[in-house]
A and B are shown apart, each in its own frame.
Chain A
Amino acid sequence: DTAVSQTPKYLVTQMGNDKSIKCEQNLGHDTMYWYKQDSKKFLKIMFSYNNKELIINETVPNRFSPKSPDKAHLNLHINSLELGDSAVYFCASSQDLLAGEGDTQYFGPGTRLTVL
């Protein structure tokens, strides 16, 4: 049973298009994230939502808009795609951070976005 799932797994599109990536988790977690991994495997957080509310918004262009219809879903919509948006995008989830504990993040399988 998949814990964190993303669709699609691969996405190839032209510059200037608008696309969405969907993420769902069935772990009952309160917090979800989007990360971007570049070609050198460097991983950078983009957004974090807790109970459908935006918590972390790193310096991401406003062409990227996350949407959380409920706490089990966090979708990523990207407008006016650019060549530099090509990367692997990972969704993740975790329980709330507890004082004195390190919270484990559970990652989806990734969506490889290629902008032509």
Chain B
Amino acid sequence: GDSVTQMEGPVTLSEEAFLTINCTYTATGYPSLFWYVQYPGEGLQLLLKATKADDKGSNKGFEATYRKETTSFHLEKGSVQVSDSAVYFCALSEQTSYDKVIFGPGTSLSVIP
């Protein structure tokens, strides 16, 4: 079945450091890919998404490119801030699977001043 794998956390970075959180997926069709973020004590919210190969999603300085050849959707940010501390979830949804989103296990990020 479909699945999403993310790099193990927790990740701790200093402010202004470069961030990469790796995400790879397995899917039978052509999924849409997402990054969701969960700030402490809150629900998840969409950070960015890409719906087809080579699309780049971007938001709030974060970006990720849909790479079909490597089945990856790595999240990057050039300079993290303390306010970026959160749990990040990579996810996919298959067009053939009615409204079902498969989430990765989440990667906890802590940014220290």
Contacts and interface: CB of A to CB of B under 8 A. Distances in A.
A105 B38 CA distance: 13
B52 to A, nearest CB: 8
Contacts of B100: 45, 48, 56
Nearest to A101: B51
Contacts of B24: none
Indicate the member of A50, A55, A104 with the most B CB atoms within 10 Å.
A104
A8 B72 CA distance: 38
B79 interface: no
Interface in B38-61: 38, 41-46, 49-52
A38 to B, nearest CB: 10
Query: B-side binding surface: helix, strand, loop or mixed?
Result: strand
Given A43-B103, A97-B99, A90 B43 contact: yes
Nearest to B51: A102
B93 A31 contact: no
Interface stretch (A13-21, A60-68, A77-85, A106-114): A106-114
A55 B101 CA distance: 13
Given A4-B43, A108-B43, A43 B89 contact: yes
B95 A97 contact: yes
Given A42-B105, A43-B89, A103 B42 contact: no
Interface in B78-105: 87, 89, 93, 95, 98-101, 103, 105
A110 B98 contact: no
Nearest to A98: B95
Contacts of B44: 43, 90, 92, 105, 107
B32 A55 contact: no
Contacts of B99: 31, 33, 48, 50, 55-56, 94, 96-97, 103
B75 interface: no
Interface string A33-51: 1000000111111001010
